[in-house]
């Protein structure tokens, strides 16, 4: 399977929990439109047209364009938290858990780069209440990674003078993959994940 086929399949599976089918089609169309044009330049007519539906049909499932973005952001951030917490709560040393967290988080941002771009970079388009909710979820992703790094420092595995700053650097490195990943590039999502896991272990001064 090619990288393009792999990532297309991953994008398609990203919204399996959204029902009914019409609501899922609209959400997928919104992701594509927001990623291509940006939230503010996208209209509800654009989204409905991509989904092969009328603008009126969109309002049956989503009251506003912002509600669509909020649903996308919520599902995406819940998935990010699940990925990081699974790694953080796993067995093994802090180095092994940090490697697993970075590898999985980066792979998600590469394999679902279209979705991840919207999830990670359209936050400011949300209204105050929705934005506050997503910011709270982001704090949970920060806490998961910070906890692994703190464990590594406490166990003498890592040499990290500034844990909060390093946590921010690690998350920024992972998230930015969604911005530049190219399915026609030289590396698959798995390969990028492996590369970044090695880079992050070097960043935290992991002991061999």
Question: pLDDT tens digit string along 15-50?
Answer: 878 889 999 999 999 999 999 999 999 999 999 999
Q: What is the pLDDT along the chain (208 residues), one digit of tens a residue?
A: 445 444 445 555 668 788 899 999 999 999 999 999 999 999 999 999 999 999 899 999 999 999 999 999 999 999 999 999 999 999 999 999 999 999 999 999 999 999 999 999 999 999 999 999 999 999 999 999 999 999 999 999 999 999 999 999 999 999 999 999 999 999 999 999 999 999 999 999 998 7
For 199, the 3-state DSSP assignment is: helix
**How distant, in Å, are the alpha carbons of 8, 54, 57, 114, 147 from that of 194?**
21, 44, 43, 21, 21
What share of residues in the chain are helix, strand, coil (percent, to 5)? 75, 0, 25
Task: Output the pLDDT for position 2.
Answer: 46
pLDDT of residue 24: 93
Phi and psi of 190, rounded to 5°? -65, -40
pLDDT at residue 65, as a whole number: 94
Q: How far apart are CA 147 and CA 6, in angstroms?
A: 32
Contacts of 193 (CB under 8 A, 6+ apart): 102, 103, 104, 105, 106, 107, 110
């Amino acid at each position: 399977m090619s990288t393009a086929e792999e990532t297309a399949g991953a994008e398609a599976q990203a919204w399996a929990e959204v029902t009914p089918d019409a609501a899922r089609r609209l959400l997928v169309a919104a992701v594509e439109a927001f990623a291509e044009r940006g939230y503010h330049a996208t209209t509800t007519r654009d989204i409905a047209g991509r989904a092969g539906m009328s603008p009126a049909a969109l309002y049956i499932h989503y009251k506003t364009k912002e509600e669509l973005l909020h649903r996308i952001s919520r599902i995406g951030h819940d998935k990010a938290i699940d990925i990081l917490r699974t790694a953080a709560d796993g067995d093994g040393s802090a180095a092994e858990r940090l490697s697993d967290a970075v590898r999985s988080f980066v792979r998600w941002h590469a394999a679902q780069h279209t979705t991840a771009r919207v999830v990670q970079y359209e936050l400011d388009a949300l209204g105050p209440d929705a934005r506050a909710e997503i910011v709270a979820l982001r704090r949970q992703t920060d806490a998961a990674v910070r906890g692994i790094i703190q464990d590594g420092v406490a166990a003498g595995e890592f040499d990290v003078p500034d844990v909060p700053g390093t946590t921010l650097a690690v998350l920024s490195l992972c998230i930015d993959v969604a911005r530049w990943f190219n399915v026609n590039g030289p590396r698959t999502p798995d390969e990028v994940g492996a590369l970044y896991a090695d880079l992050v272990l070097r960043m935290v001064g992991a002991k061999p």
